[in-house]
Structure 1
């Protein structure tokens, strides 16, 4: 990595860290871009060059988040069903207390809960996560084992209805578990306590997905 690229990464991290501190101290809605720029000792335009949307300063891993489920499907072991790979990945996220699963800490969880803007952006990111998953399932083979009805996918480009329906069910479970972790975090539970509570719940939800989607080994 060259010096220029290294400097860009350092500046981006500095801006993100300053924004996170101010958001948690003052609240997302009350914090301005100008205040973040002043805290990071950069120009206001520098902040917007790195983060075009203010929400991206709080949710700065949004690209990785939206691509995660699709990536798990694309990178699964040869012969492994998509749903099995996703279930394994979620169990790993629980054990490692991954922020992408919802383990964000009480400060971040409270900031999102108190901000209508961030709540709307997070819902948008979950929708994009679902859309990326649908494309990955379609690439994996017709929506993960469910047969496409005649003519499905012919009207417009994009995944067929089976891939979209399968992705919708998986994404709904994913959002449910994310919200559950956030709720328990705000209720004062530790990450280890949340993991213990969520493990049987996640297994139950996964079993429901297997029954609903079909075509996957449990």
Structure 2
């Protein structure tokens, strides 16, 4: 092997890593859906994905991260929405419009997607206590990130209000998504539930606005 030979360009390396990460996660989720999260050992996932266990853990430090990788792009999303909103748009308005767009697009993160594979995936997530605990950790990080974004948008950034507001907003997001997913789990279609989901979104953010409008409305 020629040690002086240049390696692949950085962009290609990152692309290969992204593909490997996606392959490992997709393989794991397929096994989880087939047999249950707790019934599939990490060694079997690594073998099925054709990687070693150390390689798997370099990409995913915990087994739970394998299942939650599909939500990775959404981590910190509400904070990004607040930071990237138009200058003349209030944070709460930006967040409500963003969630409404997710409902329109049937984004799985809103709970309003009745594709069989998505329904099975969401059911799997809520079937394992360790996954529910890991999702709680994700929500905690989202809450901290949102609090930081709201602090930047606040006229008094050093007080506790951004943290209180972020806690309420993240809780509302969780309640809305869970309400939608439960209705679909009862056999209703996403199209049938959609008008209710929009109404509940407007009601929820209306209630938030009553308390937060003076600072973030």
Shorter chain as normaliser: what TM range?
A: 0.7 to 0.9
Residue in 1 that maps onto 2:6: none
* Contact kept? 1:15, 1:37, Cα under 8 Å: yes
Report deviation, 1:34.
Answer: 0.7
Residue in 2 that maps onto 1:165: 164
Is 1:136 the counterpart of 2:161? The answer is no
* Contact kept? 1:65, 1:129, Cα under 8 Å: no
Matched residues in 1 for 2:184 and 2:55: separation?
34
How many residue pairs get aligned? The number is 204
Matched residues in 1 for 2:168 and 2:216: separation?
17
Residue in 2 that maps onto 1:82: 91
Secondary structure of the residue aligned to 2:75 is helix
Is 1:118 the counterpart of 2:131? The answer is yes
Report deviation, 1:12.
Answer: 1.1
Is 1:13 the counterpart of 2:26? The answer is no
Report deviation, 1:66.
Answer: 2.7
Matched residues in 2 for 1:12 and 1:169: separation?
33
Unaligned runs of 5+ in 2: 1-9
Report deviation, 1:27.
Answer: 0.9
Report deviation, 1:131.
Answer: 1.2
Residue number among 50, 56, 59 corresponding to 2:59 in the alignment: 50
Report deviation, 1:212.
Answer: 1.8
* Contact kept? 2:37, 2:128, Cα under 8 Å: yes
Is 1:106 the counterpart of 2:119? The answer is yes
- With normalisation by structure 1, the TM-score equals 0.86
Q: Which runs of 4+ in 1 moved over 6 A?
A: none
Secondary structure of the residue aligned to 2:69 is coil
Q: 179-188 or 38-47: which moved more? A: 179-188
Is 1:70 the counterpart of 2:79? The answer is yes
* Contact kept? 1:113, 1:119, Cα under 8 Å: yes
Is 1:174 the counterpart of 2:183? The answer is no
Matched residues in 2 for 1:168 and 1:7: separation?
37
- With normalisation by structure 2, the TM-score equals 0.86
**Cα RMSD between the aligned structures?**
2.0
Residue in 2 that maps onto 1:194: 193
* Contact kept? 2:78, 2:142, Cα under 8 Å: yes
Matched residues in 1 for 2:65 and 2:19: separation?
17
